[in-house]
Structure 1
Amino acid sequence: MSTHPSRPFPPPSPLHLPGRRTVLLAGLGGALTACSSTGRSNPDNPSSPDSPSSPDNPSSPDSPSSPDSQSSPGGQSSSGSPTGSPTAGASAAFPAPAAWQPGPGELQPDVKLRAVQVVEAIGGWPPGGQGVAAARQRVAALGVDPGLADQGGPLLADAPRAALEVVYAQYGGLLADSASVLVVCRQWLAGPDGAPVSTGSTVDVRLSSGSPRWSVTALHPADPGAVAATLGDPATRVLAQPRIALPPAAVADVRSGQVHDAPLTAMLALAGTYDFEVSVVRSGHPLLVFGTDRRSDHPQGRAFDTWRIDGRAVVDPATPAELVDSFMRAAAAAGSYNVGGPRQLSGGATANQFFSDTTHHDHVHAGFRA
């Protein structure tokens, strides 16, 4: 068992949900408006107001024959304050995160980079750079359709200044001519006193193949939903568990009460042995297994993806294979009927309990039945 020196994704304040424009407005005194695939077979389920129901990857439950997406070492974030709360008062230095870059082991890294660059252009701006018109100009400077800025949703807050950090960019689907990249990010917005307020989102970025670079065709930001009046014991314990790092949209998913107990209980079981960082739970994920007409487990709150284990990125070739493989087997032992990752594992309670494909090269997917 190893322990991270710090938790990169502290839980957000209940007053400010990632991606909830109305709540952030209230929390900032009305001044701001916040901020998988190919493998084995088993359908995931789409029924969330998240990404559009467009095809997902054909080879896993979150992929036509396997369920989810993956993660990589580049662009991780270890600093930042609880989502939706001021960092340290008006005198706090405004964050200036570095641009995300693909790390070792990524498949088609430029596809991910293209998706990330559009999200970074929309969600970060200098003083006075707020608004859709300014965002269109930043996106146009990348040589892509400036109209994509109109799809920025919660990233387009009415704040005089913003900074955006991409924690990880994971595949939600990767085919020969199309892809889904799930851009997991944290955003800081300048409050009335200029102090940074932390929030964040996950954006399902769709791309199509092209030369010399792939084209970004659509953005689908996460929509976690409102905070539940009450939460069950597993949800409360997951939010309080320091060995489970959740990004802003995933925290909001758990707080919404729309995540089933099975994946939450499995997370707690895994935390007994591993420190791990989740990329996606429910929102910000394609509704369908990419490239298929099968529903994904994610939008139904029945799955979670892990991109880093004990401080090691799943996608990184330097990460010991036995670490990732043991995590996958532990997820299966914790109740996942469909575990996907960078390698095809043998055994399992059923013939298709484990799967692997290009989409899951960068993360471990764990899907659960209701």
Structure 2
Amino acid sequence: MASAVALTLTQYDAGETPGAIAARLRQIGVDDPDLARSLYVSGAASTGRIVYPQLGGLRPDTASVMTVIEQTLSTAEGVTTVSRTLDIRLRRIAGVWRFDTLASTGGEPPANPVPLSPAAIAVLDDTRIALPDSARWDIHAGAVSERLLSVMLRLADFAPYGVITLVTGHPWEIFGTDRQSDHSRGLALDVYRLSDRLVIEDRASGSLTHEAVRWLYSQPDIARIGSPWALDGFGGRSFTDALHQDHLHIAVIAD
């Protein structure tokens, strides 16, 4: 459902109106005319491509699905592509997961970007680190810890990887609680693949993903690692649960 909503919001022809998008949303069971305007650009033709949908939170009857989508816009001025991390909330009703709300459209370029540190520049320029634009904007806004940026560079030396979220697009809170997430504090990233291996498909002992978790666990500035494994037993720095089967949650100690 989350991917269907994301694609419906980002696929329209030049000259189409939000009303046409709203009609297509109704075809997938979503009756929300305002939602249709979320990623609409007047006069543009738009196509969408799902990069990866990742769980941002899971409770028995509610869920957050952080969906990275590439939106390509074609106008008379040319073609541009932007990748956003959407926070799409679902609710289970009578046993069926249905759309609830769009909690985040993935942000916008900061109006007042900060001067970038050497680590920030290095992360942004590193082709081994695949970042959605939402995460790039977080770095340009100065919202990401220097320690986290350092870990990101060192992880790229271990293996190239793909990021779902840094700050924007992740729930502000630890989903289902009132406690602030490490993401909204600029202290965490979520990784959905290492090299060409999706975390959810690389969960065997000794796999590249398993070795990456072991390496991360050895780093002194890592506060918590959520993954398919609990290396030090439940309650330690390395933890696992149903939510962290499709990604690595990497959180650092505060600067």
What is the TM-score when the length of structure 2 is the normalising length? Answer: 0.91
Q: Identity rate of aligned residues, in percent? A: 31
Give the conservation status (yes or no) of the 8 Å contact 2:50–2:70: yes
Asked if 1:246 corresponds to 2:131, the answer is: yes
2:56 aligned residue:
172
* Secondary structure in 2 matching 1:359: helix
For 1:125, the equivalent position in structure 2 comes to: 12
- Counterpart-to-counterpart distance in 2, 1:317 and 1:233: 33
Q: CA deviation at 1:199?
A: 1.3
**Aligned runs of 1:229-240 on 2, under 5 Å?**
229-240=114-125
Superposed displacement of residue 161, structure 1:
0.5
CA drift at 1:333: 3.2
**Which aligned runs of 4 or more in structure 1 are off by greater than 4 angstroms?**
317-321
- Whole-angstrom CA distance in 2 between matches of 1:176 and 1:118: 21
Q: Paired residue for 2:93?
A: 210
**Structure 1 vs Structure 2 CA RMSD:** 2.0
- Over 3 Å counting, the alpha-carbon distance change for 1:319 and 1:276 in structure 2 is farther
1:139 maps to which residue?
Answer: 25
1:326/1:158 Cα in 2 relative to 1: closer, same or farther (>3 Å)?
Answer: same
- Give aligned pairs, total: 251
CA distance in 2: counterparts of 1:255 and 1:164, whole angstroms? 24
Matches within 5 A, 1:154-193: 155-193=39-77
- Cα offset for 1:254? 1.4
Question: CA offsets per residue over residues 81-116 of structure 1, 9 Å max, x none?
Answer: xxxxxxxxxxxxxxxxxxxxxxxxxxxxxxxxx011
From the two aligned structures, give the one with the greater strand fraction.
2
Q: Kindly indicate whether residue 204 of structure 2 is the aligned counterpart of residue 327 of structure 1.
A: no
User: In 1, are the aligned partners of 2:202 and 2:208 still within 8 Å (CA)?
Assistant: no
Distance 1:354 1:159 in 2: 49
Distance 1:339 1:322, change over 3 A: same
Q: Which residue of 1 aligns with 2:230?
A: 344
The answer to whether the 8 Å contact 1:313/1:319 transfers is no
Q: Is the 8 A contact 2:203 2:228 kept in 1?
A: no
Q: Give secondary structure in 1 for the equivalent of 2:207.
A: helix
Instruction: Quote the offset at 1:299 in angstroms.
Output: 1.4
Q: Is the 8 A contact 2:202 2:209 kept in 1?
A: no
State how far apart, in whole Å, the 2-side matches of 1:254 and 1:331 are: 22
The 5 Å alignment of 1:67-86 reads: none
| Distance change (3 Å), C-alpha of 1:184 and 1:262 | same
In structure 1, what is the Cα distance between the partners aligned to 2:93 and 2:235? 37
Give the unaligned 5+ runs of structure 2.
none
Equivalent position of 1:84 in the other structure: none
Matches within 5 A, 1:283-294: 283-294=168-179
Alpha-carbon distance in structure 1 between the residues aligned to 2:172 and 2:81: 27
- CA positional deviation for 1:127: 3.1
Task: Give TM-score scaled by structure 1 length.
Answer: 0.64
Encode CA deviations 1:259-291: one digit per residue, 9 max, x unaligned: 110111001111112111111111000011011
SS at match of 2:157: coil
Structure 1 residue runs of 5 or longer lacking an equivalent are 1-113
Counterpart of 1:219 (choices 86, 94, 102) is 102
Q: Which amino acid aligns with 1:340?
A: G
Q: Equivalents in 2 of 1:189, 1:135: separation in Å?
A: 15
**Contact residue 203 and residue 210 of structure 2 kept, 8 A:** no
Aligned counterpart, 1:279: 164
Whether the 8 Å contact between 2:8 and 2:21 is mirrored in structure 1 is: yes
The residue aligned with 1:353 is 237
Q: Is the 1:172–1:179 Cα contact (8 Å) retained in structure 2? A: yes
Distance change in 2, residues 1:310/1:320 (3 Å): farther
Taking CA–CA contacts closer than 8 Å with sequence separation of 6 or more, which of the two structures ends up with the larger relative contact order? 1
Q: 1:240 to 1:329 in 2, by over 3 A?
A: same
Partners of 1:271 and 1:278 lie apart in 2 by 11
